[in-house]
Amino acid sequence: MIASMTGFGREVQEGPRERIEVEVRSVNSRSLKVSPRLAEPLLGFETEVENVVRERIARGTVHVQIDYRSLAPAAGYELNVELLKKYARDLAALRDELGLAGAPIEIDRLALLPGAVVEKAAETGHPNDLWARVRPVLERALASLVDGRKREGAAIEADLRAHRREIGARIQAIRRRIPEALERHKRRLHERLRSLLAGTGAAIAPEDLAREVALFADRTDVSEELSRLEAHLDELDRILDTGGPVGRRLEFLSQEMMREANTTAAKSQDAALVEELLALKLEVDRVREQVANVE
């Protein structure tokens, strides 16, 4: 089974003393990139977070946000003395400027100003102990993300197999139409020569006509390109059957398929055949677009 590169996972663990929330999102990328945003008590654990992600994901940009909130009672309070002094100085200067000399500056009112009294957060314990509690939450969020990527990958795989069948059918249709195209070219060439030679008494030499048709057939021969395309389709089947992180292999294969489709279309000079070839290119392009989403 293949997986897509886009997904989302979220996990919350809340107990009597703390709340841990992990949210992970992934989007398409050429390689694996982990972008963590961690709560303050977990700063410094970016490498550990990236390692956990790399154990489960091979490709994509993965955004990891971990929020932590202690629910334990505050460990106490402390005065921000330097800030209180600044408040007092600023208020005294304003009082003198406004001509309100003698107006009291009360300490209990100063204590109500922002930042004057600071609540001391409850201890979260040793950072390693906190990480040990956070990691399982991260792993469950990642499991949800991976499940979502696999479900989307299953839909992509079904779509790729449908396009593979359509490409195979188009190749067979083109093979059937090549003799018809050569016959149409032979008739057009014969009519053109007959028109040019009208009234001259000259006759059309069958060997000359056969030689021109043979040259045309050689210039427009796409049998090798079609055979290589069929080989690429077999490889597409093998890769999809293998599953896993195969996105880069599929991208390279789709580029090779498009190269063959472009060469085949460029060689054709028959309007009816060009229509089939353009339809073939469209299907190959749809494969190329889809594999860009595969891990």
Decide if 173 is inside a domain. Answer: no
Decide if 136 is inside a domain. Answer: yes
Decide if 33 is inside a domain. Answer: yes
Residue 269 has pLDDT above 90, yes or no: no
Is the domain of 27 the same as that of 93?
Answer: no
Binning pLDDT at 50, 70 and 90, where does residue 113 land? confident
Which tokens sit at 195? 């028109």
Decide if 255 is inside a domain. Answer: no
Mean pLDDT in residue range 44-63? 96
Decide if 65 is inside a domain. Answer: yes
What's 48's domain CATH number?
A: 3.30.230
The model's pTM is: 0.72
Mean pLDDT in residue range 234-262? 95
Residue 28 has pLDDT above 90, yes or no: yes
Cα(294)–Cα(154) distance, integer angstroms = 10
Decide if 29 is inside a domain. Answer: yes
Q: What is the pLDDT of residue 220?
A: 60
Cα(248)–Cα(92) distance, integer angstroms = 69
Mean pLDDT in residue range 136-158? 97
Residue the block writes with tokens 């398409």: 28
Structural domain count, the chain: 2
Q: What is the pLDDT of residue 90?
A: 85
Is the domain of 64 the same as that of 85?
Answer: no
Is the domain of 68 the same as that of 135?
Answer: yes
Decide if 130 is inside a domain. Answer: yes
Binning pLDDT at 50, 70 and 90, where does residue 218 land? low
Burial class (CB in 10 A: 0-12, 13-18, 19+), 280: buried
- What is the rounded average pLDDT for all residues in the chain? 85
Is the domain of 19 the same as that of 42?
Answer: yes
Q: Quick check: helix, strand or coil at residue 123?
A: coil
Decide if 108 is inside a domain. Answer: yes
Burial class (CB in 10 A: 0-12, 13-18, 19+), 62: buried
Is the domain of 114 the same as that of 132?
Answer: no
Terminal Cα distance for the chain, rounded: 11
Residue 149 has pLDDT above 80, yes or no: yes
Q: In terms of residue numbers, what domain contains 32?
A: 7-72+124-150
Mean pLDDT in residue range 195-212? 62
Q: Please, which residues bridge with residue 22 across strands?
A: 11, 66
